[in-house]
């Protein structure tokens, strides 16, 4: 939810308003406006996700005295932001659709720029997989040999994200087809590194911080539930914003 709000709200919506767009509608699946978006607006979503990923990584790397719950939150924020940020290059290059298709639209030869997006996206995504996987082991404290625990901390966030994104898109003003044709496939593809990154973490990677276990926290559950309701029923319906 945070990665999506940053991408659409700060990356697209705020940049559009700051660069002259009078108004638009912000939802869980898109920033839309009757006024044409600039290439900077199109690029803004990805750039904000990458900047957020850096902030989450630095916070997680320096989190020596924080609880396991907080470290898991920082790790999850890192994962979704960096996978969305790096995966979008590859997605737009392959499909010739989305934010970076708009960015390179006037650039010639077009086929070369698409190829560069694909190559750069694949390389950056591989780096992201190693970074996210290594951070789960080093900074959250999950050992590679603890397969069930590793899967629970990667599979559950992945499928939960798809479920909340689908629910959040049901009421969006762009129409349900936007969810099935763009938002959900893009998220499923971008975040899929969570499902297989375990196999790309060097076996020599070991925890740098101990984690005695992550017990159920009703405070975190309550915050997540309230934010989910706001994501689905407030942001999901679309919010009109003006300069």
> Any idea of the CA torsion for 128, 169, 71, 208, to the nearest 10 degrees?
-30
Provide the edge-to-edge strand list for the sheet that holds 23-26.
31-32, 23-26, 239-242
The verdict on residue 242 lying in a domain is no
Question: Tens digits of per-residue pLDDT, 75-126?
Answer: 999 999 999 999 999 999 999 988 999 999 999 999 999 999 999 999 999 9
The verdict on residue 122 lying in a domain is yes
Confidence class of residue 150 from pLDDT cuts 50, 70 and 90? very high
The verdict on residue 139 lying in a domain is yes
Confidence class of residue 214 from pLDDT cuts 50, 70 and 90? confident
The verdict on residue 108 lying in a domain is yes
State the pLDDT at residue 183.
Answer: 78
The verdict on residue 34 lying in a domain is yes
The whole domain housing 136 covers 2-237
The verdict on residue 11 lying in a domain is yes
Say whether pTM exceeds 0.85.
yes
Q: Which residue has the tokens 């698409």?
A: 114
Q: Residue 212 pLDDT more than 70?
A: no
Q: How many independent structural domains does the chain possess?
A: 1
For residues 27 and 212, the model is more confident at 27
Average pLDDT over residues 24-50: 94
The verdict on residue 119 lying in a domain is yes
> What is d(CA 30, CA 7) in angstroms, rounded to the nearest whole number?
9
The verdict on residue 243 lying in a domain is no
């Amino acid at each position: 939810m945070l990665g999506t709000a940053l991408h659409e709200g700060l990356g697209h919506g705020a940049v559009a308003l700051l660069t002259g767009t009078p108004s638009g509608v912000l939802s869980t699946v898109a920033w839309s406006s009757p006024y044409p978006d600039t290439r900077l607006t199109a690029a803004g979503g990805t750039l904000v996700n990458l900047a957020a990923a850096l902030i989450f990584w630095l916070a997680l790397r320096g989190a020596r005295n924080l609880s396991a719950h907080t470290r898991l939150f920082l790790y999850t924020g890192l994962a979704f932001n960096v996978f969305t940020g790096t995966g979008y290059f590859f997605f737009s290059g392959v499909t010739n659709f989305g934010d970076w298709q708009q960015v390179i639209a006037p650039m010639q030869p077009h086929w070369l720029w698409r190829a560069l997006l694909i190559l750069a996206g694949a390389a950056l995504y591989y780096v992201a997989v190693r970074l996210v996987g290594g951070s789960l082991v080093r900074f959250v404290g999950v050992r590679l040999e603890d397969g069930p625990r590793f899967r629970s901390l990667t599979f559950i966030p992945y499928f939960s994200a798809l479920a909340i994104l689908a629910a959040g898109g049901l009421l969006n003003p762009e129409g349900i087809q936007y969810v099935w044709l763009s938002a959900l496939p893009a998220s499923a593809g971008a975040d899929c590194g969570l499902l297989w990154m375990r196999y790309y973490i060097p076996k020599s990677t070991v925890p740098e911080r101990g984690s005695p276990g992550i017990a159920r926290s009703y405070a975190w559950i309550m915050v997540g539930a309230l934010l989910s309701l706001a994501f689905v029923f407030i942001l999901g319906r679309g919010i009109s914003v003006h300069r």
